[in-house]
Amino acid sequence: MSTIAIISMIVSAGLLVFIVALTRQRKIREQYALIWLAVGFLILVFSIFNKLLDFLARLAGIYYAPSVLIVLMVFFGMVLGIHFTLVISKLAEDNKKLIQEIGLLKNRIETLEKGR
Amino acid sequence: MSHPITMLIVIPAFNEAESIGPLLERLQKEGHADVLVVDDGSTDGTGETVRKAGVSLISLPINLGIGGAVQTGFLYALENHYDIAVQMDGDGQHDSAYLEDLIRPILQDQADVVIGSRFIEKTGFQSSFPRRTGIKILQFLNYLLTGRQFTDCTSGFRAYHSKAVSFLSENYSVDFPEPEALIAMSKKGFRILEVPVVMKGRAAGTSSIHGLKSFYYVSKVFISIVFEYFRRST
């Protein structure tokens, strides 16, 4: 087994442990932990069965096998980015509604207090 | 509308402490009792000025952007069952003398939305050249998508029937909402009318849109308008 395979095994195992620890401490929500666990798991699989990468490369007609990894990483990064944009947009919308509601409530409280 | 018609004037304000006082004073002198200022997280004491003037105030704890502030006013108008809501800038550009003109088409059941346009009679403050160019571009896009010529689609001097208020309370973007709201409302079938008004330059303070932000403004609004057009109506 090559050195790089061992290193990537250690790194991916570390990533998995890290994600699990964060999720256990409720620092990451389970729904977001899922995607990272999948990534860690995939890297682990690829580093153990390094023939898999060559197989995928041949399948896709890529001559230099490691570039499959790069393609996958870029793709994953984009998917994750879009996912985060979705989450942020939803948060921003919820946040806006809360701010407006607070404003309305403050106004109502002031009006009520004036009336007493 | 059988009962006496109620009208709320919504004034979004972000750091307008200097210009909002005189405006509120004038509105009170003219007998407009129902005025609401939505203070969009100002840091210059705008809220205090409004409170001292004895005008209703909603102060948002965090700055939302003009659309978010105005929408809060719509929510307030809806909660308090106003028949008409008028949106008016807090910087003194909009002249309360035109309020009558603005709401008349709604009272006469000729329109649901009335926009005060400074470009129908082309008098008064006409804005700078780059801005007029930006407005022209948006106007052309609006024309392509709705087949209607709005001369002043960015104008924030508007009157809305409660039906439109109810719609906008759920569909209004936080920043630069005016042009895209026109598309959404045309698609929804609201009757939109423009009436001529004369606008003044700002009384005090600086505009929120300048420099690089203008480019962002035009591109953001451009994209929003296109998306609004292709969005399925809810």
* Average pLDDT, rounded, for chain B: 87
Mean pLDDT along residues A20-25: 91
Q: 3-state class of B110 per DSSP?
A: coil
Mean pLDDT along residues B81-110: 92
The proportion of chain B whose per-residue pLDDT surpasses 70, expressed as a percent, equals 94
DSSP state for residue B58 in the 8-state scheme? E
What sign does the CA torsion over B101, B103, B108, B109 have?
positive
Asked if B61's CB is within 8 angstroms of A100's CB, the reply is: no
Mean pLDDT highest for which of A7-21, B98-112, B145-159, B166-180? B98-112
Q: Decide the pairing of beta strands B56-59 and B7-13.
A: unpaired
Q: Which residues of B touch A97 (CB under 8 A)?
A: none
User: What tokens does A105 get?
Assistant: 């409530």
User: What tokens does A91 get?
Assistant: 């948060």
Mean pLDDT along residues B143-163: 87
Mean pLDDT along residues B77-86: 96
- B26-62 pLDDT, tens digit per residue, is 999 998 889 999 999 999 999 999 999 999 999 999 9
Q: 3-state class of B226 per DSSP?
A: helix
Predicted local confidence at residue B74, as pLDDT: 97
Res A35 pLDDT > 70 = yes
Asked if B61's CB is within 8 angstroms of A102's CB, the reply is: yes
Res B185 pLDDT > 80 = yes
Q: How far is A46 from chain B (nearest CA, A)?
A: 41
* Average pLDDT, rounded, for chain A: 88
Asked if A104's CB is within 8 angstroms of B61's CB, the reply is: no
* Residue type (1 letter), B56: S
Res A97 pLDDT > 90 = yes
Asked if B72's CB is within 8 angstroms of A103's CB, the reply is: yes
Mutation site for B-interface testing, chosen from A96, A101, A102, A112 by largest number of B Cβ within 10 Å: A96
Q: How far is B196 from chain A (nearest CA, A)?
A: 32
Predicted local confidence at residue B38, as pLDDT: 96
Predicted local confidence at residue B124, as pLDDT: 73
Mutation site for B-interface testing, chosen from A104, A106, A108 by largest number of B Cβ within 10 Å: A104
Q: Which residues of B touch A103 (CB under 8 A)?
A: 38, 58-61, 72
Predicted local confidence at residue B203, as pLDDT: 55
Res B219 pLDDT > 90 = no
- A54-63 pLDDT, tens digit per residue, is 888 888 888 8
Asked if B56's CB is within 8 angstroms of A107's CB, the reply is: yes
Predicted local confidence at residue A65, as pLDDT: 79
Closest residue of A to B174, CA-based?
A: A96
* Residue type (1 letter), B179: P
Predicted local confidence at residue B93, as pLDDT: 87
Q: Which residues of B touch A100 (CB under 8 A)?
A: 60, 64, 68, 71-72, 75
- Among candidate residues B33, B27, B26, B36, the one with its CA nearest the CA of residue B4: B33
Cβ atoms B160, B168 nearer than 8 A: yes
Predicted local confidence at residue B202, as pLDDT: 64
Res A112 pLDDT > 80 = yes
pTM recorded for the entire structure: 0.82
Q: Which residues of A touch B48 (CB under 8 A)?
A: none
Q: Say whether the ipTM exceeds 0.90.
A: no
d(CA B116, CA B222): 21
Q: Which residues of A touch B76 (CB under 8 A)?
A: 104, 107
User: What tokens does A54 get?
Assistant: 């060559």
Asked if B57's CB is within 8 angstroms of A100's CB, the reply is: no
d(CA B174, CA B220): 12
Residue A100 has its nearest CB partner, among B56, B57, B68, at: B68
Q: Could you give the residue ranges of the DSSP H alpha helices within B82-160?
A: 99-107, 129-146
User: What tokens does B11 get?
Assistant: 């004034």
Looking at the DSSP assignment, which residues form a beta bridge with residue B125? none
Can you give B150-184 as a three-state secondary structure string? CCCCCCCCEEEEHHHHHHHCCCCCCCCCHHHHHHH
Q: How far is B43 from chain A (nearest CA, A)?
A: 16
Predicted local confidence at residue B103, as pLDDT: 94
From the number of C-beta atoms within 10 Å of its C-beta (0-12, 13-18, 19+), residue A68 rates as buried
